[in-house]
Amino acid sequence: MEHKKAVITTCTQFVVICLLVVLRAEERTDDGGGWSLNSDFRLQDEGPCNIDVFDSSSLSYQQFIERYAYRRPVILKGLTDNTKFKLMCSKSSLLQHYGDRRVRLSTANTYSYRKVDVPFQEYVDIFLRPQSTDTLGSDTLYFFGDNNFTEWQSLFQHYESPPYVLPLTSGAYSFGIAGPGTGVPFHWHGPGYSEVIYGRKRWFLYPPEKEPHFHPNRTTLSWVTETYPHLPEDEAPLECTIRPGEVLYFPDRWWHATLNLDTSVFISTFLG
């Protein structure tokens, strides 16, 4: 009897140890840079992907220009190696170097009216949290763009932007960090790229002539939960969830909206 008990105890301990080992291993492979912990809230639904995805070696620059640059979005994998930039964007590294710098927050609605300047540390401690479903985009402060390139030059100089640029354009960066469920609602502008450094970002796009139905002050999260499920088939968006190591290209004037599934660090390169 005693022996049996001992065996059971040993087995139980073994199972617990195995589980811990598995959890630890997951923590290591889930490299969120300290921004998204395994215990954190995150959105699960990555949705379908109906945008063309290529390994960079299988789409040449000429093919990119002919088939995508002026026609439709595309996702490219492994186009650049941003290992160093990624390390510099970990939570501890960014807070250590830029915690006392001020960042400019914008409301997360289509015509972003309000801007608020706060120290980066305060943004991380107070504003960086999951999007609540009942808050308007016009009342949600989002850190994306309006970057002070003088103060953050020591970071941005290490970002290797996608090399497939459009002829006669140059790139301008917009850098941001935001919580799960946040995002920018539908809007459009010139062509560019979006890359996530940490976290996953779900993208929705429509061609210029196909303006989606949305309220300019509602969040992408409310569009996804309330409007998206009822869309007729012919109004379905182009969409895909991008992960670190992938860049999404959006052509000129395409409508787009984003939804961060995890706490994400991201950077866009606008080609103008």
Residues that bind ligand NAG (CB under 6 A): 113, 138, 148, 150-151, 216-217
Binding-site partner at residue 238 among ligand NAG, ligand AKG, none, CB < 5 to 8 Å by type: none
Closer residue to ligand NAG (CB): 54 or 188: 188
Closest C-alpha among 171, 184, 173 to residue 109: 184
183 forms part of the interface with ligand AKG (CB under 6 A): yes
Strand partners, 269: 173, 193
In whole angstroms, how close is the CB of 79 to ligand AKG at the nearest point? 17
In whole angstroms, how close is the CB of 12 to ligand AKG at the nearest point? 46
Binding-site partner at residue 217 among ligand NAG, ligand AKG, none, CB < 5 to 8 Å by type: ligand NAG
In whole angstroms, how close is the CB of 256 to ligand NAG at the nearest point? 20
Q: Out of 35, 204, 255, 266, which residue is the one contacting ligand AKG (CB under 6 A)?
A: 266
In whole angstroms, how close is the CB of 81 to ligand NAG at the nearest point? 29
184 forms part of the interface with ligand AKG (CB under 6 A): yes
Count of residues that bind ligand AKG according to CB under 6 A: 9
- For tokens 């002539």, the residue is 209
99-129 burial: b if 16+ Cβ within 10 Å, else e: eeeebbbbbbbbebeeeeebebeebbeebbe
Long-range Cβ pairs for the range 60-66 (8 Å, 24+)? 61/163, 61/164, 64/164, 64/249, 65/164, 65/166, 65/167
- For tokens 């932007």, the residue is 161
Long-range Cβ pairs for the range 29-33 (8 Å, 24+)? 31/198, 31/244, 32/198, 32/199, 32/262, 32/263, 33/86, 33/89, 33/90, 33/91, 33/197, 33/198, 33/265
In whole angstroms, how close is the CB of 184 to ligand AKG at the nearest point? 4
Binding-site partner at residue 151 among ligand NAG, ligand AKG, none, CB < 5 to 8 Å by type: ligand NAG
Which parts of this chain interact with ligand AKG (CB under 6 A)?
A: 144, 183-184, 192, 194, 256, 258, 266, 268
